[in-house]
Amino acid sequence: MRTQVVIIGGGPSGLLLGQLLQRQGIDTVLLERHSREYVLARIRAGVLEAGLVNLLHEAGVGERMQRDGLQHEGIYLAHSNRGFRIDFRRLCDGAVTVYGQTELTRDLYQARDAMGAAMLHQVDQVEIHGADSERPQVNFIHDGRARRIDCDFIAGCDGFHGVSRNTIPADRRSQFERVYPFGWLGVLSQTPPVSEELIYASHERGFALCSMRSPSLSRYYIQVALEDNVQQWSDAEFWNELKRRIPHDAAESIVTGDSIEKSIAPLRSFVAEPMRWGRLFLCGDAAHIVPPTGAKGLNLAASDVYYLWRGLRQYYDAGDTRGIDDYSALALARVWKAERFSWSMTNLLHRFPGQSPFDLRMQQAQLEYLESSSAAQTALAENYLGLPY
């Protein structure tokens, strides 16, 4: 088999890149390790920057998001049992869109099906060969048969544990990482959200977040120890702990219910450099991870897709290699800014083991300054809304 671009990974970044390329007449084959049902069952974040919203419209998959997505023009930060609002519209004349990643992925699947573009699920033992040559190829097992695809380029959209990043030789790759000493216990429930906008709460017992997927589907998180497991947290225990950490008015009005999904996610900051080796390009979690505090994971993958799509389009339209040559530098410049913001939000709002009284007072002072300073709020809003591509 031969194609122009092999995309490894069938999550939203791989699907979005494939959709954009196919619409430009650039042929792709998409390889996914899991079944379609597994991919669509994954619960992920759903806060979309304007850049990603525009990119989805460019890809022709923005209609349902435009109709069903919730536009948020601010967030609430809470500390010392009081909250204050960061007004995105007033500060930066912007907004984010809340639209579940599962729904976004479903839209992209339907669009790829409609184009008849090749996509293979439950692919195993993927190997990348010749990425540093002019004739790269991808070998894999599908339906019990060994197969090979020859191609011009390979896009590694296969996540943190995928094969793509580790294909780059260790002596050509640098990695930067911080693993945080806590996780997020998340609960999805068929209940109305406690607030029309997200509430980020800093509390002496730990961080909490009140979020949503739709007017009838809520997503809540609390900071927990890394040693915790889901089985030790009943629904009642989760709701009681969440209520302790959020402002009293929110705790009194929250509607609780049975959890649809419950999981614990560890937090880390991670960046691999470079994001290109020969004709292999890394996108999304294959190259970088951010803690979810800044709502940047999916949005950062989207900016990677934008730079790579633009570079490949220039190559195939005009034989111009500048876009693909500059891909890694352009993507990483934005990656590190988003890493900084996510790191700063995580440090601001969480309780860390071994924090001294001085550390705690500094967190409190930062929050109070943010509450009183329009300049500080503007900087936060600018980053939360998303820096330009």
Other CB atoms within 10 A of residue 190 CB: 13
The neighbour count for residue 101, using CB atoms within 10 Å, is 19
Query: Please, what are the averages of pLDDT over each run of 10 residues along the chain (389 residues)?
Result: 97 97 97 93 85 97 95 95 94 96 94 95 97 97 97 97 97 97 96 96 97 92 96 97 96 96 95 98 98 95 98 98 98 98 98 96 97 98 97
Largest CA distance in the chain: 63
DSSP-assigned states of every residue in 50-100: HHHHHHHHHTT--HHHHHHPEEE-EEEEEETTEEEEEEHHHHHS--EEE--
Which amino acid is residue 58, in one-letter code? Answer: E
Give the predicted TM-score (pTM) of the model.
Answer: 0.95
Instruction: Give the Cα separation of 388 and 90 in Å (integer).
Output: 18
What does the block give as tokens for 251?
Answer: 């705790």
- In 3D, which of 165, 155, 216, 183 has the Cα closest to residue 11? 155
Q: What is the pLDDT of residues 350-376, one digit of tens each?
A: 999 999 999 999 999 999 999 999 999
Q: Read off the pLDDT of residues 274-317 as tens digits, 9 standing for 90 and up.
A: 999 999 999 999 999 999 999 999 999 999 999 999 999 999 99
Question: Rounded to 10 degrees, what is the CA torsion of 386, 112, 37, 256?
Answer: 40
pLDDT at 46: 87
Dist CA 161 CA 202 (whole Å):
31
pLDDT at residue number 44: 74
User: CA–CA separation, 6 vs 14, rounded Å?
Assistant: 10
pLDDT for position 81: 84
pLDDT for the residue numbered 124: 96
Q: What does the block give as tokens for 235?
A: 């629904």
Q: Which residues are catalytic?
A: 72, 200, 292, 296, 384
Cβ-proximal residues to 344 (8 Å cutoff; 6+ apart), any chain = 294
Q: Which domains does the chain have, with CATH numbers?
A: 5-71+98-177+268-346 (3.50.50.60), 181-267+352-385 (3.30.9.10)
C-alpha pair distances (Å), 313 with each of 4, 20, 165, 321: 12, 9, 23, 10
